Chain A
Amino acid sequence: MAQTQSGVGGLVSIPALLNRNASEFAGSPAYREKEFGIWQTWTWSQTRDEIEALALGLLDMGVAEGDFVAVIGRNRPYLYWSMVAVQMVGGVPVPLYQDSVAEEMAYVMGHCGAKLAVVADQEQVDKILEVNDQLPDFQRMIYLDPRGLRKYDHEHLEQFSKVQDRGRAARDRLKAELDARIARLDYDSTCVMLYTSGTTGKPKGVVLSNRNVIETARSSSEFDHLRPDDDILAYLPMAWVGDFIFSVGQAYWTGFCVNCPESPDTMMTDLREIGPTYYFAPPRVFETQLTNVMIRMEDAGRFKQWLFHTFMKVAREVGPKLLDGKPVGFLDRVRYKLGDLAVYGPLKNTLGFSRVRVGYTAGEAIGPDIFDFYRALGINLKQLYGQTEATVFITAQPDGQVRSDTVGVPSPGVELRIAENGEVFYRSPGVFVEYYKNAESTAGTKDAEGWVATGDAGFIEPDTGHLRIIDRAKDVGQMADGSLFAPKYVENKLKFYPNILEAVVFGNNRTECTAFINIDLTAVGNWAERNNIAYSSYQELAGHPQVMDAIQRHVEEVNLSVAEDEMLSGCQVHRFVVLHKELDADDGELTRTRKVRRRIIEEKYADIIAALYDGSPRVSTVTEVTYEDGRKGAIKATLEVRDAATVAVARKMAAE
């Protein structure tokens, strides 16, 4: 196992890295936040002082080593500082999703027995006060934005700046103690605890050690040649491991600058202003952005349209080659240059991607067209495969070998193993310590030699060594004829069509596959407008014959491509319905991270599934829905069941 026993040059903790940065990159920016109309900036040395002041303040408040401290709010420098300050005093930061409801918070904070919480504003304060009585260990709250909190009882409340003032005041008294605590941090002491939003059951607290974080940060930074002068935009939930690695791990290792947007709704303009050089976004973001681009281009004049489409064609053939450093003819280079002048350059500029050197997407499979579009523009967009338990990185795509259908080669220091049932196992310095207070599920995922089960099924392409993920292992099943059944794989192929928002494929232990389809209201609605098709409701639009036809075409195309892969050729969709309502997290049909909850859906829509298999042409059904305000209601609908053409293939038994 390739594990250095101690970090390079005593850099065994985030605070240690902070110290190094404060001296090495003293003057260069560490954090920026758009506030009051400009990008407020903190250099590394200023950052050190701020964090130190806070840490001293925490000491003064009596935070003990090993205390858990919840951090709740949108991405703001102060909250990142809080996490590091907590580490300094030997505590464990526990970032939480800011949009999670009071009960969810109650569970998590109760589970880790948090004593303290650093929160953004009144909203969060209220949530915690609401569940305060369920939290015996909980003592105090520190808030950033005092607005509206003036009248609150401040016995258990303290303003962030006040805490820092306390710290500064108590410096002489407590500095020594602080240094001592920092010194006591070692490579195996806990760095952070992150709760995974499990698709089923209660969230689990993943404990990550300094080793996990720093080792991963080091290798991944080297892997992508990150530099101190890089810029990232921190806008993804702080509770998500990715944000922690990018905005804390890698940021502190390489010493680049973390930029926080003004507010979610100014995110796009802020992105444009900062123009990050290192950028991560889930496929959904790229997808919506591409859709917007297309919609906006629709309104452009004829000339611009022509310009856009011609040069995008050029880009799609030439762009990726150039990125991968493949040989490109002189003429093509010239055409691409022109395109860059007329379209790509300006486009990247308006999207805020002009400076992106390394871009990543992960979490879901991304549509080839979407993926290629961005690469065609000359944006070095790549895929990686990871999970919280691995401190993100399991595999990633090296520059020059980027494809939309694989997730790349094992990251430095990572070993892979594919089990008989196709499940992917890995072992690396990034492997988490344990699930907090949950020994048996720890044992369940991590075996004695440190191999961790990803829960995903996949295979390694023999020729390239790239890993390809098919589906979640527990969802991979067998068709009646024993051939491999990988719903997610098919669903993703379906979802790559802008018209299709969600898809659920059935067929486990059945003779053939069938599917539920959710149309994408933005895309389809827009299409309807342009072909002036009137519709009064989502339901009506979804049921519209022309829409059905379009969807059917998509399904059949997918069948074709599925058929090509003999391992999965059994998964072609024979019959499908377009659902009359969007699958929704509020109805429990999706997880908060928009993953499909098969079991629940199978129960809820049993009648429709039945209809899919008994060959009836249409099915009437009543579905319970939850409205914005939490009220429940029911919608009736009669859905048309369509048959889709499939490709007959010589069936071999799958899974060798």
Chain B
Amino acid sequence: MLYREAGDFSSTYAQDSQTFPIRFDRYRYYFVLAFAFLVVPFLINDYWANAILLPFLIYAIAAIGLNILVGYCGQVSLGTGGFMAVGAYACYKLMTAFPDVSMFVHVIIAGLITAMVGVLFGLPSLRIKGFYLAVATLAAQFFLVWLFNRVSWFYNYSASGQINAPERTVFGIAVTGPNTDAWATYMFCLIFLTLSAIIARNLTRGTVGRSWMAIRDMDIAAEIIGVNPLKAKLTAFAVSSFFVGISGALFFAVYLGAVEVGEAFGIQKSFLVLFMVIIGGLGSIFGSFAGAAFLVVLPVVLKIVGVDWLGWPTDIVAHFNLVIVGGLIVMFLIVEPHGLAQLWRLAKEKLRLWPFPH
């Protein structure tokens, strides 16, 4: 209905294969970017930052990462929490070891380190398939958490066994530590998210992406037409873990500030991110955003409704949260296995065909 595609055609392959081939979509995308970068920073306050925006941005990165592994390459992982932990602790060690290096560098290196660990735990995927692998990744989850819990070198021998993010800056602006401005942390995460999304998109629409999807859809055929399974799967694990690591680092350094590994990066975290991917839509970058947004906002809304309006005790609301999330997962798998992203796609189709039904 809102679309005007007459005269909107591509005369080069570059135009045709761009992320938003339709002009209208492209403009909407620019608008959102502009809004996020130029408007939000001036409206943002601590509540919004901590309750919604930061978690959304950070989880979105994680979701993108996991989506690459599960949605694009078809390798289910329950180890996300563990990999986030790797990112967090790597970042912590770096922050404390090199105080005056920019936070950007720390986070990125943390991501790279996680990527390596990811590859390590990805190796079994060559022999193990389906949920055998899913369970195998639990090993990563539990082992890593245990590791950071028990080996005190990781938390610099602090008595509490916690890690605390000292104040670190980017271009002289504090983005971690006790006294940061909402807009600064927001921008810091936003930049990472934007870059992650763009990179993820580029990878998934290109050569690597195709090899991943080939493996996902039919691994044997893929190998026979020349996809190297080893390479495909390991790159998927690497890239995925890279993003997950980054999100872990941000989650710890920027969002929480202080972390006890068991709580922050436990198995529950793995499931949370997995759910984001399922609800959002497997194999869709947009889905990762949608899923993250949904599961971040849902509890907040429930809390407002349950606690503030109905005056229920928080634990009941928390339980409701479980019920609803669980129910939604099942519902989505039944009704729309491709998640919010697919719903969005359908809506778009309808608009483009308007006023015709098909």
Given A32-B11, A296-B356, A354-B4 contact (CB < 8 Å): yes
- Is A297 part of the contact surface with B, judged by Cβ < 8 Å? yes
Tell me whether A275 and B10 are in contact (CB under 8 A): no
**Stretch of A67-75, A345-353, A587-595 lying at the B interface:** A345-353
Q: Is the CB of A349 within 8 A of B6?
A: yes
B298 is an interface residue with CB less than 8 A from chain A: no
Judged by a CB distance under 8 angstroms, whether A62 is at the interface is no
Residue of A nearest to B353 (CB): A350
- CA A275 to CA B23, docked complex, whole Å: 14
User: B356–A355 contact, CB under 8 A?
Assistant: no
Contact flag A273-B11 (CB < 8 Å), given A38-B16, A297-B355, A304-B355? no
**Which residues of the other chain, A, contact B357 by a CB distance below 8 angstroms?**
296, 299-301, 304
**Chain A 227-247 interface 0/1 with B at a Cβ cutoff of 8 Å (1 = within):** 000010000000000000000
Q: CB distance A272 to B11 under 8 Å?
A: no
B10–A343 contact, CB under 8 A? no
Q: A37 an interface residue at 8 Å Cβ cutoff?
A: yes
Q: B1 touching A342 by the CB < 8 A rule?
A: yes
Please state if B356 and A274 are interface contacts (CB–CB under 8 Å).
no
Within the complex, what minimum Cβ distance (angstroms) separates A350 from chain B? 6
Q: Mark A396-434, 1 if CB is under 8 A from B, else 0.
A: 000000000000000000000000000000000000000
Q: Is B355's CB under 8 angstroms from A308's CB?
A: yes
Question: CB-CB contacts of B311-324 with A at 8 A, as 1s and 0s?
Answer: 00000000000000
Q: A38-B13, A38-B16, A342-B1 are in contact. Are A275 and B8 (CB under 8 A)?
A: yes
Per a CB cutoff under 8 Å, which of B8, B12, B13, B352 touches A273? B8
Question: With A37-B16, A38-B16 as given contacts, are A307 and B355 in contact (CB-CB < 8 Å)?
Answer: yes
The residue in B8, B15, B353, B355 that gathers the most chain A C-beta atoms within 10 A of its C-beta is B355
Interface flag for B345 (CB, 8 Å): no
Contact string, A296-329, partner B, CB cutoff 8 A, digits 1/0? 1101110010011000000000000000000000
Interface residues in B5-48 (C-beta closer than 8 Å to A): 5-13, 15-16
Determine if B127 is an interface residue (Cβ-Cβ < 8 Å).
no
Report whether B11 and A38 are in contact in the complex, using a CB–CB cutoff of 8 Å.
yes
A274 touching B355, Cβ below 8 Å: no
Interface residues of B in 344-358 (CB under 8 A from A): 352-358
| Closest CB in chain A relative to B150 CB, distance in Å | 57
User: Which chain A residues numbered 276 to 305 have a C-beta less than 8 Å away from chain B?
Assistant: 296-297, 299-301, 304
Cβ-neighbour of A350 out of B7, B9, B11, B356 (below 8 A): B356
Check if B6 sits within 8 Å of A272, measured CB to CB.
yes
**Interfacial chain A residues near B355, Cβ < 8 Å:** 297, 300, 304, 307-308, 342-343, 346-347
**Residue from B5, B9, B10, B13 in contact with A349 in the complex, judged by beta carbons closer than 8 Å:** B5
A41 contacts the other chain (CB 8 A): yes
Residues of chain B within 8 A (CB-CB) of A623 are: none
Q: Tell me the complex Cα distance, A32–B11, Å.
A: 9
For the complex formed, measure the closest distance between the CB of B65 and the CB atoms of chain A, giving whole angstroms. 32
A39 located at the interface, meaning its Cβ lies under 8 Å from any Cβ of chain B in the complex: yes
Whether A40 is near chain B, meaning CB under 8 Å from some CB there, is yes
The contact size tier of chain B is 20 to 34
Partner of B6, one of A296, A299, A348: A348
Q: Which residues of B contact A354 (CB under 8 A)?
A: 4, 6-7
Q: Are B5 and A272 interface neighbours, CB within 8 A?
A: yes
A29 shortest CB reach to chain B, Å = 8
Q: How far is the CB of A314 from chain B (nearest CB, A)?
A: 14
Question: Is the CB–CB distance between B11 and A355 below 8 Å?
Answer: no
Q: Which residues of the other chain, B, contact A355 by a CB distance below 8 angstroms?
A: 6-7
Rounded to whole angstroms, the CA-CA distance of A231 and B353 in the bound complex is 23
**Residues of the B chain whose Cβ atoms lie less than 8 Å from the Cβ of A273:** 5-9
Minimal Cβ-Cβ distance residue in B for A298: B357
B3 within 8 A of A: yes
State how many angstroms separate the Cβ of B349 from the closest Cβ of chain A: 12
Are the C-beta atoms of A275 and B7 separated by less than 8 Å? yes
How far does the Cβ of B3 sit from chain A's closest Cβ, in whole Å? 6
Do B11 and A40 have beta carbons less than 8 Å apart?
yes
User: When the two chains form the complex, which single residue of B7, B12, B354 contacts A231, counting CB atoms closer than 8 Å?
Assistant: B7
Taking CB atoms and an 8 Å cut-off, the chain A residues in 23-43 that contact chain B are: 32, 37-41
Partner of A274, one of B1, B7, B12, B13: B7
Instruction: Report A-chain residues with C-beta under 8 Å of the C-beta of B15.
Output: 38
Please give the distance in Å from B129's CB to the nearest CB on chain A: 35
Give chain B residues whose Cβ lies under 8 Å from the Cβ of A296.
Answer: 356-358
Cβ of A299 to closest chain B Cβ, rounded Å: 5
Whole-angstrom distance from the CB of A425 to the nearest CB of chain B? 41
Most buried by A among B3, B4, B6: B6
In the bound complex, do residue B10 and residue A39 qualify as a contact, i.e. CB atoms below 8 Å apart? yes
Closest to A341 in B: B1
> Which of A275, A300, A307, A352 contacts B356 (CB under 8 A)?
A300
User: Would you give the shortest CB distance from B352 to chain A, in whole angstroms?
Assistant: 8
Asked if A349 contacts B11 (CB within 8 A), the reply is no
Kindly provide the distance from the CB of B309 to the nearest chain A CB, expressed in whole angstroms. 34
Interface residues of A in 341-381 (CB under 8 A from B): 342-343, 345-350, 352-355
Task: Decide: A353 and B6 in contact? CB cutoff 8 A.
Answer: yes
Least CB distance, A47 to chain B, in whole angstroms: 15
Residue of B nearest to A32 (CB): B11
CB within 8 Å of B: which of A127-182?
none
Min CB gap A209→B, angstroms: 35
User: How distant is A235 from chain B, measured CB to nearest CB, in Å?
Assistant: 16
Q: How far is the CA of A38 from the CA of B6 in the complex (A)?
A: 15
**Could you tell me the distance between the alpha carbons of A346 and B9 in the complex, rounded to whole angstroms?**
17
Instruction: Tell me, rounded to whole Å, the shortest Cβ–Cβ distance linking A218 to chain B.
Output: 26
Contact present for A39 and B358 (CB under 8 Å): no
Q: Once bound together, how far apart are the Cα atoms of A40 and B355, in whole Å?
A: 31
Q: Closest residue of chain A to B354, judged by CB?
A: A346
Residues of B within 8 A of A37 (CB): 13, 16
B10 touches A38 (CB 8 A): yes
How far is B8's CA from A274's CA once the two chains are assembled, in angstroms? 7
- Is A39's CB under 8 angstroms from B9's CB? yes
Q: Taking each of A40, A346, A347, which has the highest tally of chain B beta carbons within 10 Å of its own beta carbon?
A: A346
Which chain B residues lie closer than 8 Å to A348 at the CB level?
6
Q: In the complex, how many angstroms separate the beta carbon of B346 from the nearest chain A beta carbon?
A: 15
- The CA of A39 and the CA of B5, in the complex, are separated in Å by 15
Known: A32-B11, A38-B16. A297 touches B6 (CB 8 A): no
Give the distance to chain B from A98, nearest Cβ to Cβ, in Å: 25
A250 vs chain B, min Cβ distance (A) = 19
The minimal Cβ–Cβ distance linking B356 to chain A, given in whole angstroms, is 5
Chain A residue numbers with a CB within 8 Å of B13 are 37-38
Q: How far is the CB of A416 from chain B (nearest CB, A)?
A: 37
Cβ of B9: which chain A residues have Cβ within 8 Å of it? 39, 273-274
Check A352 against B6 for contact (C-beta < 8 Å): yes
| Chain B residues positioned under 8 Å from A352 (CB to CB) | 6
Contacts of A40 in B (CB 8 A): 11
Cross-chain contact B11 with A275 (CB below 8 angstroms): no
Do residues A299 and B7 form an inter-chain contact, with CB atoms below 8 A?
no
Closest A residue to B352 using CB positions: A350
Give chain B residues whose Cβ lies under 8 Å from the Cβ of A275. Answer: 5-8
In the complex, residue of chain A having the shortest beta-carbon distance to the beta carbon of B9: A273
Q: Which residue of A lies closest to B12 (CB)?
A: A38
Chain A residues lying within 8 Å of B352, measured Cβ to Cβ, are 350
Q: Please name all residues of chain A whose beta carbon is closer than 8 Å to the beta carbon of B11 when the two chains form the complex.
A: 32, 38-41
List 23 A–B pairs whose Cβ atoms lie within 8 Å, in order of A's numbering: A37-B13, A38-B12, A38-B16, A39-B9, A39-B10, A39-B11, A273-B6, A273-B9, A274-B6, A296-B356, A296-B357, A296-B358, A297-B355, A299-B357, A299-B358, A304-B355, A343-B355, A345-B1, A346-B1, A346-B354, A346-B355, A354-B6, A354-B7
New A-B pairs, 20, CB < 8 Å, besides A273-B7, A296-B358: A37-B13, A38-B13, A38-B15, A40-B11, A231-B7, A272-B6, A273-B5, A273-B6, A273-B8, A273-B9, A274-B7, A274-B9, A304-B355, A349-B3, A349-B5, A350-B354, A350-B356, A353-B6, A354-B4, A355-B7
Residues of A within 8 A of B (CB): 32, 37-41, 231, 272-275, 296-297, 299-301, 304, 307-308, 342-343, 345-350, 352-355
| 8 closest residue pairs by CB, A with B | A275-B6, A275-B7, A354-B6, A273-B9, A346-B354, A39-B11, A300-B357, A41-B11
